[in-house]
Amino acid sequence: MSDPTALDPRLAEAARHVPLARATLDRLRRPRSSLEVSLPVRGDDGEVRSLAAYRVRWDTTRGPGKGGVRFHPEVDRAMTERLALGMTLKTALLDLPYGGAKGGVRLDAKQASAAELERVARAWVSGMADVLGPERDIPAPDLYTNERIMAWMVDQWTATVRGHQPAAFTGKPLALGGSHGRTTATADGAKHVIDALAPKLDLAGDPPTVAVQGFGNAGAELAEQLFHAGYRVVAVSDSRGAILDHGGLHVPSVRRVKERGEGLRSVLCEGSVCEAREHERLEPGDLLTLDVDVLVPAALGGVITEANADAVRAGVIVEVANEPVTAEADAILAERGVTVVPDVLASGGGVTVSYFEWVQNRQGLRWGAEEVARRLGERLRATAAETWGRAEELGVPLRTAASALALERIDVAASARDSLT
């Protein structure tokens, strides 16, 4: 019996560095299940339109599927499958008792009203109900989904199964069984990873300079944490534009202004006197090639490609988005000595606190904010150190080391399941 389906090239590269049972790699060639459904949803204009929706469990060797649901116009089956494989590696690297999954709806969420989003969220749960559940596959927020959407989803689930099962979804509001620390978890996790690796990274600047692409839930929070920690955040961007200040942006006020819906700029207030600060504007794409110590892509995937990898001047890239650096760009960056802290590690805080939420739900209790923060810090710092150690030992980039560690964990579980003795 042999299967000609090609293994993901980055996995194949990692697999060269660890002894694995052949059956383990075979498991990772194709999704365990990949469901595509059509969701007829009524818009506010009264018209019913059918939206393409997906849920993929790539692998469930180590536990139930786990991963977010994104609402984005570029969502398709191939993207969802790739991201579900990414989640498989992420949960294994972090040693969470899950496999990996991902879901999505092909939809421009920015153009949808709250009422339309609610109908889409509820339709998604109804459409996917056969494959979900706290011990089967547990969705969470991702791009353009948030705790409000998870609230509609878990409410729909309650109606579907005729009972309360808060552990079926994570990233819920606190009032519906959410966990402390979930909304800032991705940024908190990235900050722990940066702190753990900072002494080893060659951050030349004093203070080190940072550019953040994507000023959303994760990017804005991380930018603010880095600002408070003494980093000089010189540029941030969102989907509409980017601002630059070589002297350093006042990130808290940039955030406040953006949250008021006034775009990207900062306003500094002393007492009752407020002064609008004018910043240089740049094309969002140009942010990626600024001369900074740390570049944080925290928006969409595939932004650093073979077309611009040569122009990247940062010494360190911290992948807070899913898959911002393509495989071709990875090779160029490795050649040039740029350290890429891979998404499976740098953005692992979200799913880690999702796991804590699921544990709390299953036990019917709530941990305090400090306990969540402590556990998150311990796990992310330990995983960062372990990944760094493995990279040094194997003489490979961090991404390959992270995948190798993940593959090893999947292999142990797969071998335990498959063993004849």
Active site residues: 102
Q: Supply the minimum distance, in Å, between the C-beta of residue 303 and ligand GLU.
A: 16
* 243 in contact with ligand GLU (CB under 6 A): no
By three-state DSSP, how is residue 138 classified?
strand
Minimum CB distance to ligand GLU smaller for 68 or for 99: 68
List, as one string, the DSSP characters of 335-356. Answer: HTT-EEE-HHHHTTHHHHHHHH
Minimum CB distance to ligand GLU smaller for 142 or for 238: 142
By three-state DSSP, how is residue 194 classified?
helix
* 39 in contact with ligand GLU (CB under 6 A): no
* 35 in contact with ligand GLU (CB under 6 A): no
* 379 in contact with ligand GLU (CB under 6 A): no
Tokens 């760009």 sit at which residue? 329
Q: Is 82 exposed, middle or buried (0-12, 13-18, 19+ CB in 10 A)?
A: middle
Q: Which alpha helices (DSSP H) does 210-326 contain, by range?
A: 217-228, 251-259
* 121 in contact with ligand GLU (CB under 6 A): no
Q: Cβ(153)–Cβ(132) under 8 Å?
A: no
- Alpha-carbon gap, residue 116 to 62, rounded angstroms: 36
Q: Supply the minimum distance, in Å, between the C-beta of residue 93 and ligand GLU.
A: 11
Q: Cβ(186)–Cβ(350) under 8 Å?
A: yes
Minimum CB distance to ligand GLU smaller for 156 or for 352: 352
* Candidate list 63, 67, 127, 342; residue touching ligand GLU; CB under 6 A: 67
Q: Cβ(21)–Cβ(34) under 8 Å?
A: no
Q: Looking at 44-52, 63-71, 208-216, 289-297, which segment touches ligand GLU (CB under 6 A)?
A: 63-71
* 284 in contact with ligand GLU (CB under 6 A): no
Binding residues for ligand GLU restricted to 154-173, rule: CB under 6 A: 170-171
* 179 in contact with ligand GLU (CB under 6 A): no
Q: In the bound complex, which residue of the shown chain has the CB atom lying closest to ligand GLU?
A: 68
Q: Supply the minimum distance, in Å, between the C-beta of residue 61 and ligand GLU.
A: 17
The separation between CA 278 and the C-alpha centre of its own chain, rounded to angstroms, equals 32
Minimum CB distance to ligand GLU smaller for 70 or for 232: 70
* Candidate list 179, 289, 322, 360; residue touching ligand GLU; CB under 6 A: 322
Binding residues for ligand GLU restricted to 74-93, rule: CB under 6 A: 90
Of 318, 262, 320, 264, residue with least CA distance to 143: 320
Minimum CB distance to ligand GLU smaller for 140 or for 233: 140
Minimum CB distance to ligand GLU smaller for 104 or for 284: 104
Q: Cβ(349)–Cβ(186) under 8 Å?
A: yes
Q: Cβ(93)–Cβ(387) under 8 Å?
A: yes
Minimum CB distance to ligand GLU smaller for 242 or for 303: 303
Minimum CB distance to ligand GLU smaller for 288 or for 351: 351
Buried b (16+ CB within 10 A) or exposed e, 235-247: bbbbeeebbbbee
Site string for ligand GLU, 339-358 (x = CB under 6 A): --------x--xx--x----
Site size with ligand GLU, rule: CB under 6 A: 13
By three-state DSSP, how is residue 115 classified?
helix
Buried b (16+ CB within 10 A) or exposed e, 333-371: bbeeebbbbbbbbbbbbbbbbbbbbbebbeeeebbeeee
DSSP for residue 96 = -
Q: What angle do CA 137, 177, 184 make, to 5 degrees?
A: 85
* Candidate list 27, 66, 122, 180; residue touching ligand GLU; CB under 6 A: 66
Site string for ligand GLU, 90-119 (x = CB under 6 A): x-----------------------------
Q: Where do the DSSP E strands lie in 30-141?
A: 33-42, 48-59, 65-72, 100-106, 137-141
Site string for ligand GLU, 136-155 (x = CB under 6 A): ----x-x-------------
Q: Looking at 14-22, 65-73, 395-403, 407-415, which segment touches ligand GLU (CB under 6 A)?
A: 65-73
Q: Supply the minimum distance, in Å, between the C-beta of residue 393 and ligand GLU.
A: 26
* 320 in contact with ligand GLU (CB under 6 A): no
What residues line the site for ligand GLU (CB under 6 A)?
A: 66-68, 90, 140, 142, 170-171, 322, 347, 350-351, 354
